Amino acid sequence: MAMRFAVTGGAGFIGSNLTAKLLCEGHKVYVVDNLTTGSPEVVKLLKRGGAEFIQGNASKAAELQVDGIFHLGMPSSSPMYKENPELVVEVMQDFVRIMERAKEGVKVVMASTSSLYNGHEPPHHEDLPVLVTDYYTEARYWAERLAQVYRLLHEVEYVALRLFSVYGPNERPKGRFANVLSQMIWAGLEGRPFVIYGDGSQTRDFVYVEDVVDAFIKSMEKDVSGVFNVGTGKETSFNELAAKIREVTGLNLKLEYRENPIKNYVYRTGASTVRAEKELGFKAKVTLEEGISKVYPVYKEGKLEFICKVV
């Protein structure tokens, strides 16, 4: 059955792929984006596919008559918050307005982050205590907590997805905030070394955006509320990642190692997938090798492409 959805951050990396998938499934989609990291080119393509674009902050989604809100329209990288800590306040203001709309029977599925597990060893499961680390994680944790308050007081339906290291097509507009996998491929294509802070033994749980979109849609469809990890459950070091990229693409990718200057750096991530598999029915399907082979030609040819062809 066709439904009406708002996707905040719908012109961004994950949001645009989610929007494309929803359009392919026949739904009406409103893309709400202030274009801070979203792309006007992406907007044009999504509009041609049937999406309606509303330029502005995520709170504009609260003004729409929709069946559900996918909330991804929040700055998604720790350095952004370090440069402008007031983003924390903006995130919460938008989120309060969205949750007020949720009180009227609109389900919200929001993007949270695996960075909340900083300071803990993998496997990272949803019940681990959240340690104080930086502005970015505090903003997402407050949003999660506030969603729980609305659930407690107003029986609001919500799902918070703690995303691990998401990669895939259309990350270019994120630039230096993009996933390390994409940045490694770009470095190889441009013939420059990729800089690694430390010795390259740090790990990430790399998950392809098509799987992430599947998790968002399942979260909206299922009669569940709460917090869920979205990852593969597998750790890959930066050194191992570089080797896989060379193997799959044939790129002459060179690495340059430097001392790590970042405080509270996340050294390892690895999702516990038990809860998501049991309650959401979600399990990542795309292997790292398959994901690299999917994204490499998109960046090599400089194409604008989604996981689902909308036009």
Catalytic residues: 136
Beta-bridged to residue 71, according to DSSP, are 8, 110
Rounded distance between C-alpha atoms, residue 212 and residue 191, angstroms: 30
* 203-204 and 236-237 strand pairing: antiparallel
Residue type, 38: G
Dist. CA 74–CA 90, nearest whole Å: 9
CA dist 281 → 127, 131, 270, 278 (Å):
19, 29, 19, 6
By C-alpha distance, which of 280, 271, 272, 154 is closest to 225? 280
Q: Please report the beta strands in 96-140, taking only residues with DSSP state E, as ranges in sequence order.
A: 107-113
The β-bridge partners of 226 are 159
Q: What are the phi and psi torsion angles at 286 (to 5°)?
A: -85, 120
- Report how far residue 199's alpha carbon sits from residue 221's, in angstroms, rounded to the nearest whole number: 43
- Measured at the CA of 309, the angle between CA 209 and CA 164, to 5 degrees, comes to 5
Task: Enter the tokens of residue 10.
Answer: 């719908």
Rounded to whole angstroms, the Cα distance separating 85 from 53 reads 28
Alpha carbon 234 to chain centroid distance? 17
Q: Which residues make Cβ contacts (< 8 Å) with residue 280, sequence separation at least 6?
A: 215, 218, 219, 222, 224, 228
Helix then strand count (H, E) for the chain reads 10, 13
